[in-house]
Structure 1
Amino acid sequence: MATVTADAPITEAATEQVAHPDPATNVTDGVLALCESDPRCPVYAVPNGVGGWVDVTIDSFVGQVRRTARGLIGLGVGVGDRVVVMAPTSYWWAVIDQAIWFAGGVSVPIYETSSPQQVADVVRHAAPRLALVGGAEIAETVRRGVEAAAEGVRVLAVDGDAALRAIAAHGDGVDEATLEAARSAARLDDVATLVYTSGTTGRPKGVRITHRNLAEGAANIVPFARDILGEGPSRTLIFLPLAHVLARAVQLICLHHGIQVAHSPGAARLTEDLASFRPEWMLAVPRVYEKVHQSLQDAARDAGRRQIAESARRTAVEYSQARQRQADGGDGPSAALRAKRALYDRLVYRRLRDRLGGQIRYMVCGASALSPEIAHFFTGAGLPVQEGYGLTESTAPITLNIPGATRLGTVGLPVPGSTVRVADDGEVLLRGSVVFDGYHRDERATAEAFDDAGFFRTGDLGALDEDGYLAITGRKKELLVTAGGKNIHPAPLEERIRLCPLVAHAVVVGDDRPFVAALITLDAEAVASWSAAAGHEEMSLGEAAEHPAVREQVQQAVDAANEAVSRAESVRTFRILPLEFSEETGHVTPSQKLQRHRVIADCAEEIEGIYSR
């Protein structure tokens, strides 16, 4: 358990490190250790083409990695050379990731949704030897990016057995001794991967993540999160982009400890893949859980069971809240609440669990804040939510709620080997074995990122409770100061407004303005479902933005959000925009984080219109 300072308010919490890998090793040694101890352990599963899955054992996986790594060496990849990877989430991604390390290289993942210009920026900055891509469309994007960057980077496909065999063919002259020398060249403190931030606050930077960050992080989090990950054979489905450090770190944790992973390429196949693979725990970002939460209510409304669904939702939330009070020493659920929850378990919750495969014991949430109400709903419905916190610079998870030590509304305790400190101005500071080495080719940004004690400045605002649980309250740079001098943290307000089923995004504004307002965008799927159920003709987002019934629902959500703050902090008015914020528009990152600075810049006219009336 975390240790905390004795002062009030609590300013620091830490959890003692439990694993200390040999400094002469690197992240590939953990893979080889599992292969030696349990060669038949199923570490991956691939689709069999008829709706099922085929196991891939660790010895089979390592054999494929070795062959591919020889091919990379034959293609000229040397120790320390950087290799771009841009492909959908898949088993092939996992093979290539390890093969680059076996060849002594440094991987540079790029989100598959990136534009040619974004690719060009990374290629110029990272100066890779090679680019490995999945699919013809992505290959064309990378080729255009490489041309724009004026760099002579070779582009090769990696989207299947045939593509990997073609790469492996280049390694016919590479012997075992050469491969082993390349694989073992890196040490724990050498850079393993350059991960470019998704740029929610400005131009992306190349985060230097070391073998220590990855290997030591994996070794320490497993005993801490054992109840989530499972004892013995366990399985999970990864569908987040593997270019995202969270999904990639979790995949490596699984690989080092014999937890089987299957991959789903995205939303189109997710429901089918969950049903067929039946994972025991899942990892997702808040937007996924918000969508599942909303789809349940939509389905109930379409079936004429809206009142039952709403009562089931409230019951799950109340039950989870009562269980949390009980864990903190208070009263638990009443007999009446337990009976009501048991009834809805048969009518509603079991069906929800079945939609997710029927075997999920825990749902891990990261990347950004999840509404506590949604977390309580899933937990009360028998799908406990374990929320965590991390950034690219902390190799993702650095705090986590674990079973038996969970406080919904917080992002948990520091993972072993990590320290969380809250500065005088409320900024969350981090130190530990998972904290990055610095920014690639940017000494100034690196120096600015750390304080004099060596803590990383996250830019997030937070607070620690008396037991060391961290709560994130907002972004330091997103703090709004109204013309009247009132400090406003927009995130809590935005979080509550997004509870409205029709709302996709909410952006609270009011910096140097006389009052607080909000920009709202609607969820196109939710609008279509709602309009059909209400008997309205199909409407565009622009029409929905002006519809009185839509505005009434959004106003109710704004009113509910305002109840949690003072009048000076409350949202006085809002504007519903006739558009969506997405990756394509440049307003949302691939991990579904809103790029506030882009929204503010692109919607300057709309914001000015709010205050000029």
Structure 2
Amino acid sequence: MSSAQSPRERRPDSVAHILLSRVEATPDREAYRYPAPADDGVPGTEQWRSLTWAQTAERVRAIAAGLLDLGVQSEERVAISSSTRVEWILADLGVMCAGAAATAVYPSTNADETVYILSDSGSRAIFVENAAQLAKVVPHADRLPELGHAILFDAEADIPQVEGLTVLSLAELERRGTAYLAEHPDAIEETVRAIEPEQLATLIYTSGTTGRPKGVRLVHDCWSYQAVAQESCGLLRSDDVQFLWLPLSHVFGKALISGQIRTGHVMAVDGRVDRIITNLPAVRPTLMASAPRIFEKVYNGIAGKARAEGGVKYRIFLWAAKVARDCARAGQESMAESGRRRVPLSLALQHAVADRLVYGRIRAAFGGNLRASVSGSAALAPDIGYFFAGAGVRILEGYGLTETSAGCVVNPSEDNRVGTVGTALPGTEVRIAEDGEILLRGPGIMRGYHNLPEKTAEVLDSDGWLHTGDIGNRDQDGFIRITDRKKDLFKTSGGKYVAPTEIEGRFKAVCPFVSNILVIGDGRNFCSALITLDETVIMPWAAAHGLGGRSYAEVVSSPQVHELIDGFVQRVNDDLQRWQTIKKFSVLSRDLDIEHGELTPSLKVKRPVVEREYAEVIKEMYEGSREA
């Protein structure tokens, strides 16, 4: 079964073409908002500033022309190593309009891997956010003979000069570009016209769990397809205000830029995760994309605060949470059966009361205008999805990979089905293999791994089907449900298959204190779990239960916390088959993080890394045990 095709002639050749069309159509409309120092001159104060589409185009043309002046040619790679900010977008569009290809580098990537990515991609230049990012490159400049230029977003008074590497500020690059355009006024338009759909546009290196990352080759047609598909399915609208904090080095954030240019809506850009809660009421977005971890943290924070208040307030929250889930489930079931959302009258009346008492404050925390939030990069626990849906915060779960230029399946806003990742975008085909693996084909699929033809052949067959490695199924309405990663499924020593992410999702739904959980059991005689707790939620609980004044590590290793978490483990176990139940667990002394290599930049757990790091802890859980 396949979705409707998107003929090549109906898509622009590139996002660069889409950008020029957008600027011509709505030059004076607001394009981007970004935080900047406030006019009052008080250190540390900020205000939101704006760029119109005409102003955006002026800067993009100058950056593109500056790259041409540096000698960058068609399909040559230009890297970007920066957190999410408006300059990242301007640089990326400048690279596109110069006919070159962007190499995305996570700012959290260490120096060794950064150098590997720059070398493997053959990048000619690199945009870096600041001196710290530049410092990853400078000591290794002799290992990067093709890298000739570095451009600083945040340039200090004295820009360092390095032998074999010309370092300049973004402002200086734009000045060079402006001068270049004075002599070659049509250079950018001519370059964009020459771009062909199958030209390389972007290299995004997968944050693999083992070995070196692989460079995913995404051509201009991949991004053009994303732009058209996001608009045609109704995901993005021209009147949206979108808040973007996702890493732009990740394919999820990058794909949203294509759709935004196509529809021309406003995008507020600030990648500082610690500012999300502050930014939401200020931006008042209608749309936001996020990873499930953010929704889990919001939910845990709400539940933890209610628990700390105790008494009547906590009982009201528990009741309201149940009403939210019941309403969302009832509405979803009736929509699937009859095409209309219906909720029993008694439940609707309860919901109206709960809305006044609880849900309104939740919506206000998201800015009050949110019509939808898109969740991707990992599975969202259904109970959390139902809770937010019932509270009026619609989370549209989607599915995609770096190899599919991000989302290729997403829930429609008018028929959102919690527990699924939605239906295929127009032009994408989905097939379920005999072993349950999800296969995908369409314009958004990568053209291969950079310099790795053997690895490409392992996942991309001769008919163009991408073997995703994910296990799932599709219902009669075309909604896809992901059940597990093919490589994450494990078999116990008793011969029973276990899907760990399903158990982990159930635990996250019932335990408001959890941050991360990893279910273990491959080749073993029972399942165990490594668990980390959310410090912002567990510490207030600890203070109220006689553990005040203790450190986080002391709190999570206490018998009281072990007993608390054991209660939630038993609740999950009650609904599992015997061989799936968690017999033992260990609460780790710190949370998993990107810095220790345990999480990817999109906050997915690197299972092999965690299992290696905590091999002794795992060994202790199984020592001397003969449980079946």
Same fold (TM over 0.5): yes
Give the partner amino acid of 1:586. Answer: G
SS of the residue corresponding to residue 520 of structure 1 reads strand
Give the match's secondary structure for 1:229. coil
Judged with a 3 Å threshold, the aligned counterparts in structure 2 of structure 1 residues 458 and 176 are, in CA distance, closer, same or farther, namely same
Match for 1:168 among 166, 174, 177?
Answer: 174
Distance across 2 between alignment mates of 1:458 and 1:283: 22
Contact 1:505–1:581 under 8 Å retained in 2: yes
Matches for 1:300-379 after TM superposition, within 5 Å: 300-304=306-310, 305-329=313-337, 332-379=342-389
Distance 1:515 1:343 in 2: 45
Q: Name which of structure 1's ranges 583-592 and 447-456 shifts more when overlaid on structure 2.
A: 447-456
Letter in 2 for 1:234: D
1:609 has 2:615 as partner: no
For the 8 Å contact 2:35–2:270, the answer to whether it is kept is: no
Q: Distance in 1 between matches of 2:106 and 2:553?
A: 30
C-alpha separation between the residues in 2 aligned to 1:535 and 1:423?
54
Between 1:303-312 and 1:78-87, the stretch displaced more is 303-312
Distance 1:574 1:427, change over 3 A: same
CA distance in structure 2 between the aligned counterparts of 1:428 and 1:218, rounded to whole angstroms: 23
Which residue, out of 520, 523, 530, partners 1:519? Answer: 530
TM-score by length of 1: 0.93
* CA drift at 1:433: 0.9
Deviation string for 1:77-100 (max 9, x for gaps)?
A: 111110110111111111101001
Q: Distance in 1 between matches of 2:286 and 2:601?
A: 25
Amino acid at match of 1:33: S
CA contact (8 A) 1:104 1:182 kept: yes
Name the CA shift for 1:531/1:17 in 2 (closer, same or farther; >3 Å).
same
The answer as to whether partners of 1:47 and 1:53 remain within 8 angstroms in 2 is: yes
- Aligned position for 2:108: 113
CA separation in 2, counterparts of 1:106 and 1:408? 37
Structure 1's 495 and 364: CA in aligned 2 closer, same or farther, altered over 3 A?
same
Q: Could you say what secondary structure the match of 2:400 adopts? A: strand
Task: Report what 2:14 is aligned to.
Answer: 26
In the aligned structure 2, how far is the partner of 1:173 from the partner of 1:451?
45
Matched with 2:33 is 45
Name the structure 2 match of 1:194.
203
Aligned counterpart, 1:5: none
1:143 maps to 138
The equivalent residue for 1:182 is: 191
Q: Distance in 2 between matches of 1:345 and 1:163?
A: 51
Q: Determine if the alignment matches structure 1 residue 387 to structure 2 residue 387.
A: no
Identity %: 33
Contact kept, 8 Å, 1:19 with 1:216, in 2: the verdict is no
The secondary structure found in structure 2 opposite 1:124 is: helix
Cα distance in 1 for residues equivalent to 2:223 and 2:134: 28
Instruction: Name which of structure 1's ranges 251-260 and 167-176 shifts more when overlaid on structure 2.
Output: 167-176
Q: 1:119–1:146: 8 Å Cα contact kept in structure 2? A: no
Q: SS of 2:337's equivalent?
A: coil
Q: In the alignment, what sits opposite 2:282?
A: 276
Q: What is the match of residue 159 of structure 2?
A: none
Superposed CA offset, 1:101-139 (max 9, x none):
111110011111111112012012111001111122222
CA shift in 2, pair 1:484/1:114, >3 Å: same
Shift in CA distance, 539/121, structure 1 to aligned 2, threshold 3 Å: farther
1:199 maps to a residue whose letter is G
Matches within 5 A, 1:55-134: 55-134=50-129
> 137-146 vs 263-272, which deviates more?
137-146
Whether the 8 Å contact between 1:587 and 1:594 is mirrored in structure 2 is: yes
User: 2: CA distance between counterparts of 1:370 and 1:64?
Assistant: 38
The one-letter code matched in structure 2 to 1:470 is: I
1:453, distance to aligned residue in structure 2 (A)? 3.0
Q: Bigger shift: 208-217 or 496-505?
A: 496-505
Kept in 2: contact 1:104–1:184 (CA 8 A) = no
Amino acid at match of 2:264: G
Report if the CA contact (8 A) 2:151-2:170 is conserved: no
Q: CA deviation at 1:353?
A: 1.0
**Structure 2: how far apart are the matches of 1:561 and 1:127?**
50
Show CA shifts across 1:396-419 (max 9, x none).
Answer: 110010122221100000000001
Q: Deviations over 1:16-70 (max 9, x none)?
A: 0346446883220011111112222221113354454333211111111001111
* CA distance in 2 between partners of 1:443 and 1:428 (Å): 22
CA RMSD of aligned residues (A): 2.1
Runs of at least 5 residues in structure 2 that lack an aligned partner in the other structure: 39-45, 157-167
Superposed displacement of residue 514, structure 1: 1.3
| Structure-2 change in CA distance of 1:367 and 1:145 (3 Å) | farther
Which of 546, 558, 583 pairs up with 2:557?
A: 546
| Pairwise CA distance, 1:201 | 5.2
1:158-557 aligned within 5 A:
158-159=153-154, 163-171=169-177, 172-174=179-181, 175-200=184-209, 202-224=211-233, 226=234, 228-230=235-237, 232-304=238-310, 305-329=313-337, 332-499=342-509, 500-557=511-568
Verify the 8 A CA contact 1:450 1:457 in the aligned structure 2.
yes
Please report how far the alpha carbon of residue 312 of structure 1 lies from its aligned counterpart in structure 2 after TM superposition.
1.5
CA change 1:237–1:23 in 2 (3 A) is: closer
Which deviates further from its counterpart, 400-409 or 526-535? 526-535
Separation in 1, partners of 2:12, 2:299: 47
Report the alpha carbon displacement of residue 389 of structure 1 after superposing the two structures with TM. Answer: 0.2
Q: Identify the residue that residue 9 of structure 1 maps to in structure 2.
A: none
Tell me, yes or no, if the aligned pair for 2:506 and 2:572 is still in contact at 8 Å: yes
Q: Name the SS of the counterpart of 2:212 in structure 1.
A: coil
| Greater alpha carbon shift after TM alignment, 325-334 vs 377-386 | 325-334
In structure 1, the residue corresponding to 2:415 is in which secondary structure?
A: coil
- Farther off after superposition, 363-372 or 574-583: 574-583
SS at match of 2:597: coil
Pair 1:23–1:415, CA change in 2 (3 A)? closer
- Which amino acid letter does the alignment assign opposite residue 204 of structure 2? V
Determine the structure 2 residue equivalent to 1:566: 577
Query: Would the aligned equivalents of 1:210 and 1:437 in 2 still touch at CA under 8 Å?
Result: yes
Q: Distance in 1 between matches of 2:480 and 2:337?
A: 20
Higher relative contact order (CA 8 A, sep 6+): 1
Deviations 1:206-231 (A, max 9, x none): 0001101100221122121x2x423x
Q: Which residue of 1 aligns with 2:42?
A: none
Per mean C-alpha deviation after superposition, the further-off stretch among 527-536 and 463-472 is: 527-536
**Residues 150 and 551 of structure 1, relative CA distance in 2, 3 Å threshold:** farther
Q: How many pairs does the alignment contain? A: 598
Q: 1:581 to 1:118 in 2, by over 3 A?
A: same
Please give the TM-score of this superposition, normalised by the length of structure 2.
0.91
Q: Alpha carbons of 1:149 and 1:75: their partners in 2 closer, same or farther (altered >3 Å)?
A: closer
Counterpart contact for 1:19–1:220, Cα < 8 Å? no
- Give structure 1 stretches of 5+ with no counterpart: 1-12
Amino acid at match of 1:508: V
2:225 touches 2:443 (CA, 8 Å); kept in 1? yes
- State the Cα distance separating 1:160 from its structure 2 match: 8.1
Structure 1 CA distance, aligned partners of 2:9 and 2:542? 57
- Partners of 2:9 and 2:135 lie apart in 1 by 41
Alpha carbons 1:517, 1:572 under 8 Å: kept: yes
Q: What is the CA–CA distance in structure 1 between the aligned matches of 2:138 and 2:355, rounded to whole Å?
A: 52
Q: CA deviation at 1:202?
A: 4.5
CA distance in 2, matches of 1:252, 1:207: 18
